[in-house]
């Protein structure tokens, strides 16, 4: 059985906006994505498909926001 891929990360993992380190664990066989904040016992786990859905939704929201800003700036120049 293949070992899970592990990556060290930095981000706002505890919900209060503060940067902290953690570990992302990807288990390919089970299609799971887990995050464990540094010095914490809690492991947050989701299906990889759910993570992919969240990423796509966030990118689309950012693109729509950027388009709105561009339109607003365009109207301001006229």
Helices (H), 8-78: 48-77
Strand ranges across the sheet with 44-47: 5-11, 20-27, 32-37, 44-47
Backbone torsions φ then ψ of 4, nearest 5 degrees: -70, 145
- Give residue limits of the domains in the chain: 5-77
The pLDDT assigned to 13 comes to 86
User: pLDDT tens digit string along 10-67?
Assistant: 998 877 778 999 999 999 999 999 999 998 899 999 999 999 999 999 999 999 999 9
């Amino acid at each position: 059985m293949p070992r899970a891929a592990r990556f060290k990360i930095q981000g706002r993992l505890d919900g209060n906006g503060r940067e902290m380190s953690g570990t992302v664990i990807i288990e390919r066989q089970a299609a799971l994505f887990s995050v464990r904040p540094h010095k914490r016992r809690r492991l947050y786990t989701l299906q990889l498909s759910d993570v992919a859905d969240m990423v796509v939704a966030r990118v689309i929201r950012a693109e729509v926001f950027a388009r709105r800003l561009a339109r607003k700036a365009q109207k301001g120049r006229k």
